[in-house]
Chain A
Amino acid sequence: MRVVRGLLALGAAALAQALLSRYVPVAARFCDLFTIMVVYYGLTCPPSAAMAMGTGAGLVEDSLVGSILGMNGFKKTLIGYLVGTIGSLFMLNQAIPRFGILFAATVFDPLAEWGLSVAMGRSFAFPGTLPLLQRGLGNGVLGLLFFWVASRLP
């Protein structure tokens, strides 16, 4: 049942992200629903589930964005693992810590991509500090909203 819910949530996130990037590209720049999904699973499920969600979400994002296949899968798996590990070590059920984790995961995403690109000898255009902070802020706010909605679902 949890797997089905996870797949449905992943599908919904993919659809919402595709809609956003197609019709509201400005809003799509400030949020990454896949990262939010991975962080949610990392904080509410065991690390293995978070990693699985990270790989799935990353691969779907790869197929949507058209980037190198596996790039986002790698990043999101790593994020899932880190958040899942942190979530199992600390109590992160309050808004501010969750916001911090969402913000950190969002900032970590391009940093991981930068590291991978360097390792593979590929060029990487860093998004810039301000857009990255804006994206972290947007993801934090939207993630908290997602946590609030998810806690009210049956």
Chain B
Amino acid sequence: MAHLLTERKPYLLLLILLTFNLGLMSSRIRSASERSLLEEGILGLGSPFLKAAGWIGQAVSGTWHAYVGLRGVERENRRLRERIDALALQAHEAEEARQELGRLRELLDLRAGVPFDSVPARVIARGVDGSARVVTLDRGGREGVRINHPVITPRGVVGRIIEAATAASKVQTILDPNSGVAGLIQRTRVQGMIVGDGDRGCRMEYVSELANIEVGDVVVTSGLDQIYPKGYTLGMVAAIGEGEGLTKIVEIRPEVDFRRLEEVLVLLKREGPPERTAP
């Protein structure tokens, strides 16, 4: 009997298992609404796997999305940094352009107001020592610039052309000790010669000791030197000192800021009497 069982064991097992499965199927079909404890147990077999699958899927999905998100953030961060750099450069350029526009507008207004032909020019170089006694402009003989043409800004007189090449020219500013401009005190019409005093500014010489001059008086060109038209601002009286003999020396602070000189106007030729309404 035992031998028979061993020999027929697979068939018996097959029979038992198939019957078991058939029993499960038939009971399920017979009573679709009611489930036995065994059926509940077998049906419950799958739920842990489904839950685990959901949990694993969510974990993998979450990790993947976090990783992708992190990569995206890094990429976006790099892109935004580049954008910030580009925008900073643009903002800088825009600010430069805005300031230049303001200066050029002033220059344009000045150009419209002067009774001479004129050409705007840009300062492209200063003296090798860094001083502003001589500056170089980007306009020259090709644009009609000639020696002794006066150079001005909306603030006042800059100087005169001393060299004019084809495409560039040199300006001797009123700070140069070798320069001389005929000027007068706007308030009292006292005249004198304004010479450069280096980076300190200018001084007015040959002024009578009795002349009525006060600190703060505005000094303008008188036009007597036949170079600078009359009435353009040179500067303001900063101090008054004793001169040789019966004269006094008047220290003048120029209105033009020569350290920040960028755009100027070259007056090409004079037409009619060089008169200008004093500011």
Contact = CB atoms under 8 A, between A and B. Distances in A.
Given A14-B46, A55-B20, A68 B25 contact: yes
Interface string B26-38: 0011000000000
Interface string A72-93: 0110011001001100000000
Interface in A85-131: 85, 116, 120, 122
B52 to A, nearest CB: 6
A24 B52 CA distance: 16
Contacts of B47: 63
B70 interface: no
A68 B39 CA distance: 11
B9 A77 contact: no
B42 interface: yes
B46 A70 contact: no
Contacts of A18: 46, 49-50, 52-53
Contacts of A23: 57
Interface string B1-39: 000000001100110011011111100110000000001
A70 B50 contact: no
A63 B45 contact: yes
Given A18-B52, A19-B53, A69-B39, A77 B17 contact: yes
Contacts, number: 95
B23 A60 contact: no
A71 interface: yes
A15 B43 CA distance: 15
A22 B57 contact: yes
Across the A-B interface, give the 9 residue pairs with the lowest CB-CB distance, nearest first. A63-B46, A70-B24, A18-B53, A74-B21, A70-B25, A64-B46, A70-B21, A73-B21, A14-B49
23 contacts: A15-B53, A18-B50, A22-B53, A48-B9, A48-B10, A51-B13, A51-B14, A51-B17, A54-B17, A59-B24, A60-B45, A60-B49, A62-B43, A69-B28, A69-B42, A70-B22, A70-B23, A70-B24, A70-B28, A73-B17, A73-B24, A74-B25, A78-B14
Contacts of B10: 46-48, 51, 81, 84-85
Interface residues of A, number: 34
B46 A120 contact: no
Contacts of A47: 10, 14
Contacts of B21: 55, 58-59, 70-71, 73-74, 77
A71 B25 CA distance: 6
A77 B22 contact: no
Given A68-B25, A70-B25, A62 B42 contact: yes
B54 A60 contact: no
B44 interface: yes
Contacts of A54: 17
Contacts of A48: 9-10, 13
Interface in A36-60: 46-48, 51-52, 54-55, 58-60
B56 interface: yes
Given A46-B10, A69-B43, A73-B24, 20 more contacts: A15-B53, A18-B53, A19-B57, A23-B57, A51-B13, A51-B14, A54-B17, A55-B17, A59-B24, A59-B42, A60-B45, A60-B49, A62-B42, A63-B42, A63-B46, A64-B50, A70-B20, A70-B28, A78-B14, A120-B25
Most buried by A among B22, B23, B25, B39: B25
A11 interface: yes
Contacts of B28: 68-70
Contact of A52 (B17, B24, B45, B50): B17
Nearest to B11: A81
A136 B139 CA distance: 88
B71 to A, nearest CB: 21
B52 A15 contact: yes
A19 B57 CA distance: 7
Contacts of B42: 59, 62-63, 69
